[in-house]
Amino acid sequence: MKFRKSKDEEPTGPGQVAIRKKSKVPGVMITQFVEELPAGKSHPDFTRKPIALTIQEGKFAFFKAIITGDPTPTVKWTRNNGEISVTNYCTTYDPSIREHQLQIPNVAVEQADTYKCIAENEYGRAVVTATLNVIETQREQSIDFTKSLKTRTDRPRAERKDGEVDERFWELLLSADKKDYEHICAEYGVTDFRWMLKKLNEKKREIEEQQAQYVEYLGNLRHIEIKNNGCAQFEFEMDLKDPNAKIFLYKDGEMVPFNIDSDEKHSLRQIGRKFVFTVNGLSPDDAGLYQVDVEGVNVFSTDFKIPMVDFLVKIEEVKAVEREDAVFECVLSAPLPKITWMGKSVPLAQGEKYDITVSEDMLIHRLVVKDCMKVDNGIYAAVVGIKSCNAWLIVEADNDPKNHGKKAARKTTQAGGSGADVAKIAAEQQAKLQKAREEKMEALKQQQAEKPEEAPATEVEPQAKPEPLAELKPLTQPKPKPKAKPKPKPKPVAEGVVEEPGAEPEVEEIAPEPENNDGSEQTVLESPSEEGGERKKRVRTGPLVPDTIIDSGVHFTGGLQDVRAIMGQSAEMVCKLSSADCDGVWYKDGKEITSTDDLKITKDGAIHKLMICNCKEEDNGKYRFEADGRKSEAMLIVEDPPRMNPDDLAKFSEPVIIKVGQHASFKLSFVGQEPIKVQWYSEGEELLNDTNIKIEKSSSHSSLLLTKCQRKNTGEIKLKLKNEFGTIEAFSKLIVLDKPTNPLGPVEVIEASSSCVEFKWRPPKDDGGSPVSHYNLERQQLGRNTWKKIGNIPAEAHYKDTDVDHGRKYCYRIRAITAEGTSDVFETDDIQAGTKAYPGPPSTPRVVSAFKDCINLTWTPPANTGGTNIVGYNLEKRKRGSSLWSQVNPPEEPIKAKQYGVKDVVEGIEYEFRVSAINLSGAGEPSSPSEFVIARDPKKPPGKVIDLKVSDSTYSSLSLSWTKPKEEEGVQDEAKGYFVELRPAENTEWTRCNSNPIVTTSYTILGLKSMAMYWVRVLATNEGGEGEPKNLDNYFIAMPPPVRPNFTDRKMKSFMVVKSGNSARVTINFEASPVPTIIWLKDGMPVSKRVTMSNTDGTSQLLIPSAERSDTGIYTIVVKNMVGQETFSTEIRVTDDPKPPGPVELEQNVPGTLTVSWTPSPDEKRDDRLHYMVAKRDSVKQTWHTVAHRVFNNNFTAVNIMPGREYNFRVYAKNDMGLSEPSESPAWRTVRKKEKFTVNMPEPKTCNFDSAPTFTVPLKTHTSPEKYECYMSCAVKGNPIPHVTWYRNNISLNTNINYYITNTCGVCSLLILSVGPKDNGEYKVVAENSLGRTECATQLTIRE
């Protein structure tokens, strides 16, 4: 990658002043050539500047700039190093948007530079720079190694400073989490982490200063990742200082267009302060570095990598039996340590339910769904980048009759797996990958062996500057230096080059030594030592260019790992070298260590081990192993957590058994680093010192004493020890023995006949810690005061008393007996022996099948048996239309079973049946009659329903209609009812919507999930069974019929005025289906956070709680769904009651007229619709009347001012809210002087009053809003009366009916009723008579 730096700015020309001006756009340098700019003129400036660009070699690059200035500036592009030729560059200009572009097709590495855009006119110059960084593409090394070295000298390469790396490296680190620093450094070959962190902090401060210009807050950065729906997203939270600031998205340095529509390739969705960027329709071309800029400042960078891997074997459908394990497995084309498994669109993780494994070669990936149940049915998928495969898991019910009615045990068998030999396929693929690697290595070796003599010569060429940080220099004899303590070794930057930490890169020396066996040279690196400035040398072998190395020498294949050891135990540190012939040295905290009794150093081939026996606190530290200039470091942390003696712990774990009222004690010794926090718990609740609780603690043991224990104290006793190194717990059991609680009711009477009373009860809730050995019973006959002792019975809570009298009632007392004593008594309710209690009615008989000579029935026994066993059933029948029931079975032969076949029937006759139960007391109430059934052979099932269709649908219901199926004799009979069945798209089983058949040919399904996908079918049924189902032609979605968004209000306000401080509310009613997406915009941009939006079904409301003037604007609602979209805009103008104008002054310049002028209202600058109204009152009429309305300047000329009268004027400010308080003028009066009339007859003289025209009051400059009135006036005098002509842009207006022109007593006025853009220009009044001509001009400016 090539980087260029900017040069100094060019000086100004001779004779020009150089006044530095500040631009609104950061980074723009403006030089003004004149001290004061003429009116209407301006120096050049950038409203949009070109931004820095990082792009891959061979791509299309361009810079854009928008420039303002009057006169129009000339624009030119330059670069620091080189010329911009027409063959490699193209400059364009779009006058419609005033945009200048510098385009660079097929960008090359040599074009990486700092580019300038210079805009200049006669009043100044504006200059801005932008850097172009070009990423070199990786080329195949198909040429000879020595030739490749020579080609490097042909291309100029900027010398890289210490630590300077690819700019993408810093962009990634600025947005990455700290846990990701290590693998990013490994990817870009950075090994000096201290230098990296120092440099990163500097860049962070620099970028934060740039971001502070536009961004108030930036956080919660989430890097790009592939989502379940096949798109990739990255997101972050950001608050912009200017909501209108422009946001740009770049991929590999190229600007990427995006919009708010989520269906586009690149989209941006803003939710509050959260920004979510989405890349849809992923492909391999979407991989790259994505950057987000705000006004040219980078705020976020993320690297999107798509693994180039495919499935050699995809997962297949699995059918498993309940409680069995299901296996999915796949084989990849390239090794990957982890893939994503999905189950029913939800990511799966390793745990109790799922077992995810990967083979050693990382090609075979396996998912095991353990203990499958019916709920595990669904689609499972394996996802790798943008590739995926999926298959069904179908869990079938366990049909083993042994498991009916109880939970089946988990099976140890597995179902599924790929039918192919995945191990064989993976082995073949591994062999292919290994062969490809070997072929590539062999090709590199062969290229080097062809010309082995040219490599040394190439390396010493002074022009060939290698990539590593060290450089070559002649070998000098090193000075001897005293032995110093061991220091950290240099870190390897590339093979054959090392870097001394904290020192500037030094120049390498080439020693005139013979070549090694591998044909490489020996190089010696010098670096300054800390003592006395001496230099130390280190001999390294191998070529100096890292990307051409074939034999990397001895290196670590497995480095040291941090080890945590317990005090007193052993710890082992292991590393592995690539060669078994190399020895090394072990260091602890920088000091060399050797084998001792507690330190054992061993070597087993390439494996080197350091065993620390009986770890002590002083063994803590950093251990390092060095071999052949390579090193590996790791930390040994010796911990001293709380520990217990195993024998003491085993003794502590034994239960403590005591009786009620006795004491219980627990004691346990321990060791560990102090302080140790000691806590005792009983059944999870912490124990503290109390009346019956005493806890003793010391540094080596702790004891617990519980006095006067009760039964409730029984439970788990836990001792918890904790220090800074860990926590340990010990458990014991406390059992407090006591007598049992009394047995529990209610009593369940099994039989209460004239010969026996049989009943059962529930055992005690608490047996007191000992099992119940016996129950003691007593009996009392109702009406007697004595209790008869029955005695002890076995521990079963059941008793049968055969010594009873018919019709008597008995009460029983029951006590439980254990080894600890006898419980309190439990007394039963009265139980009567031998009462006539008839059974209740059985269930309604159900017709199983019907034939012409037999009808088969079945039923269930009654819930109430009358207290005795059921001995049989009586079955009765009745014909339709008859009221006589006849018994089917003989009276002396009750039916024992719960089913019966009635053969005494006549073909074609309809019958109904009922059944009654019989116990020892007799027959009970009969059941309700069954449905009528005809004695005939079975019917044929009906056919499929016809014309099944959806008649209506909502978000939670679906209405169906169909036509009755046709009858075909002998094939399909008439349908008597219908069943509707439903199946969600993600399930495989159908569920029946109606439990009983319906007779109508329509049905409404309720309780659907909104926007869910379903399949539906209808099947007909009759006495012969169910017919074939009829499915809808396609699935349906639970939603109303699609409706394009439409606004339902007939009259919607397109303009509203709101007083500042009040709330503004806009309510829009619409109809749309499915539920639309609603977006509110202000002047085409998202609304601010102050605005509250609430959406309900068919209504959207925008609320501004406390409106401010800045809320003025055009608000647009966009209602969009899958059918279409609709928009509506309304203008909200926020204003306030106008403030009155300032003092009013009166001035008379022309007799008969009076000029009223006033100071503008303070609101005039903030409200472009504010105008003035003038009212007049004279001393004769004494009433106020308006003489001027909609005056947009600050003066008005009143006419017809009569001498001798007193006049008063009021001026009001007016806007959309109304009138202000008036500002009143002082009184104006012209007094007539009455003098004595004296006639002096002078000698007659000839008087000449003729005079050329002159303007006593000239025209004034006017600025008026569009579509408002504009009034111009002036005063002229002359004799004879001059003729006045009005001109606009030198075109006469006297005959133009669009202008109202008057001339009253020398006051000339022009009124434009509705000002438009066409009225812009110069207005001139020409007055002329026979003695001369004069003119007066002004300018009218129209505001938009």
DSSP string computed for 102-133: EEESS--GGG-EEEEEEEEETTEEEEEEEEEE
Looking at per-residue pLDDT, the higher value among 1188 and 164 belongs to 1188
**Is pLDDT above 80 for 189?**
no
Where does the pLDDT of residue 254 fall: very low under 50, low under 70, confident under 90, or very high at 90 and above? confident
Confidence of residue 914 (pLDDT cuts 50, 70, 90): very high
pLDDT exceeds 80 at position 1005: yes
Query: Residue 1254 pLDDT > 90, yes or no?
Result: yes
Among 1151, 1200, 1326, CA closest to 1254:
1326
> Residue 978: what pLDDT?
94
Average pLDDT over residues 1311-1323: 89
- Please tell me the predicted confidence (pLDDT) of residue 1109: 84
How far is residue 1's CA from residue 185's CA, in Å, rounded to a whole number?
17
Q: What is the mean pLDDT of residues 327-338?
A: 88
Mean pLDDT on 328-342 = 88
* CA separation, residue 954 to residues 959, 1039, 1105 (Å): 9, 5, 35
The band of 920, judged by pLDDT with boundaries at 50, 70 and 90, is confident
pLDDT single digits (tens) 695-724: 998 888 899 999 989 988 899 999 999 988
Q: What is the pLDDT of residues 588-599, one digit of tens each?
A: 988 889 888 888
pLDDT value at 291 more than 50? yes
Q: What is the pLDDT of residue 1282?
A: 92
pLDDT of 753 strictly over 70:
yes
What lies within 8 Å, CB to CB, of 612 at 6+ separation is 565, 570, 571, 572, 573, 598, 599, 619, 636
Burial 243-282 (b: 16+ CB within 10 A, else e): eeeebbbbbbbbbbebeeeeeeebbbeeeebebebbbbeb
Q: Rounded to whole angstroms, what are the CA distances from 81 to 5, 110, 114, 141, 156? A: 10, 10, 8, 29, 12
Asked whether residue 3 carries a pLDDT value surpassing 80, the answer given is no
d(CA 998, CA 805): 56
Supply the pLDDT for residue 119.
Answer: 94
pLDDT at 508 over 70: no
pLDDT over 90 (residue 312): no
> 778 pLDDT exceeds 90?
yes
Q: Is the pLDDT of residue 971 over 50?
A: yes
* H or E, element range at 646: helix 646-653
Residue 2 has what DSSP assignment? B
Structure-token pair, residue 825: 């008594």
At 519, the pLDDT band (50, 70, 90 cuts) reads very low
pLDDT for residue 531 is more than 70: no
pLDDT of 1118 strictly over 90: yes
Whole-number Å distance between alpha carbons of 435 and 375: 46
- Nearest residue to 1264 via CA among 1337, 1172, 1154: 1172
Whether the pLDDT of residue 477 is over 50: the answer is no
How distant, in Å, are the alpha carbons of 368, 880, 993, 996 from that of 932?
55, 8, 26, 16
Q: Reduce the DSSP state of residue 426 to 3 states and report it.
A: helix
Rounded CA-CA distance 1100/1098 in Å is: 7
pLDDT per position as a tens digit, 79-131: 988 888 888 899 999 888 888 999 998 888 888 888 999 999 988 999 999 88
Least Cα distance to 387 among 317, 311, 331 occurs for: 311
Q: 997 pLDDT exceeds 80?
A: yes
Helix 193-211 / helix 181-188 crossing angle, nearest 10 deg:
110
pLDDT over threshold 70, residue 536: no
pLDDT band, residue 834 (cuts 50/70/90): confident
- pLDDT tens across 542-557, in order? 444 344 344 557 888 8
Choose among 513, 540, 514: nearest CA to 526: 540
Of 56-60, 676-680, 1265-1269, least confident by mean pLDDT is 56-60
Query: What's residue 448's pLDDT?
Result: 72
Quick check: 1176 and 1184 in contact, CB under 8 A? yes
Q: Is the pLDDT of residue 137 over 70?
A: no
Read off the pLDDT of each residue in 1091-1095 and give the average, rounded to a whole number. Answer: 91
Q: What is the mean pLDDT of the chain?
A: 81
Where is pLDDT greater, at 270 or 521?
270
Q: Tell whether the model's pLDDT for residue 886 goes beyond 90.
A: yes
pLDDT tops 90 at residue 913: yes
Q: How far apart are CA 1091 and CA 1107, in angstroms?
A: 9
The pLDDT confidence band at residue 145, using thresholds 50, 70 and 90, is: very low
| Segment holding 1094, helix H or strand E | strand 1092-1096
Q: Which residues pair with 685 in a beta bridge?
A: 682
Q: Taking the C-alpha atoms of 79, 82, 85 and 88 in order, what is their torsion angle to the nearest 10 degrees?
A: -90
pLDDT band at 263 (very low <50, low <70, confident <90, very high): low
Which one has a higher pLDDT value, 997 or 1231? 997
| Lowest mean pLDDT segment, chosen from 488-497, 918-927, 1288-1297 | 488-497
Mean pLDDT of 243-253: 79
Beta-carbon contacts of 1150 under 8 Å, excluding residues fewer than 6 positions away, are: 1256, 1257, 1275, 1277, 1305, 1306, 1307
Task: Give the tens place of pLDDT for each residue, 365-400.
Answer: 999 998 888 888 888 988 888 788 888 888 888 776
Q: Is 277 helix (H, G, I), strand (E, B) or coil?
A: strand
- Checking if the pLDDT of 256 tops 70, the result is yes
**pLDDT band per the 50, 70, 90 thresholds, residue 15:** low
How would residue 408 be classed by pLDDT, with cut points 50, 70 and 90?
Answer: low
Cβ proximity of 67 and 73 under 8 Å: yes
Residue 792 has, within 13 A of its CA and on its CB side, a CA count of 9
Q: What is the pLDDT at residue 142? A: 37
Label residue 1244 by pLDDT band (50, 70, 90). Answer: confident
Identity of the residue numbered 135: I
In degrees, rounded to 5, the angle at the alpha carbon of residue 896 between the alpha carbons of residues 895 and 897 is: 100
Res 1239 pLDDT > 90: no
Higher pLDDT: 1074 or 737? It is: 737
Mean pLDDT of 485-504: 36
Global pTM value? 0.32
pLDDT number for residue 552: 55
pLDDT of the residue at 1211: 93
Q: How much of the chain exceeds pLDDT 90, in percent?
A: 26
Measure the CA–CA gap between 1078 and 1087, rounded to whole angstroms.
13
Strand ranges in 467-515 using DSSP code E only, listed in sequence order: 471-474, 491-494, 497-499, 507-510
1191/1329 Cα distance (integer angstroms): 32
> Distance between CA atoms of 477 and 480, rounded to whole angstroms?
9
**Using alpha carbons only, how large is the chain's radius of gyration in Å?**
51
Tens-place pLDDT, residues 197-240: 877 887 777 777 777 778 888 888 888 888 766 688 888 888 88
Structure tokens at 557: 């294949």
pLDDT for 486: 40
Q: For position 1231, what pLDDT does the model report?
A: 64
Which of these ranges, 151-165, 649-663, 1070-1084, has the smallest mean pLDDT?
151-165
Which range has the worst mean pLDDT, 231-235, 243-247, 474-478, 658-662?
474-478
Q: How far apart are CA 1020 and CA 980, in angstroms?
A: 9
Residues 703/696, Cβ–Cβ less than 8 Å: yes
Above pLDDT 70, what percent of the chain?
Answer: 86
**By the 8 A CB rule, do 810 and 782 touch?**
yes
Q: φ and ψ at 1291, to 5 degrees?
A: -115, 130
522: pLDDT confidence band, cut at 50, 70 and 90? very low
Most confidently predicted of 302-311, 409-418, 857-866: 857-866
Is residue 873 pLDDT above 90, yes or no?
A: yes
What was the pLDDT predicted at 362? 84
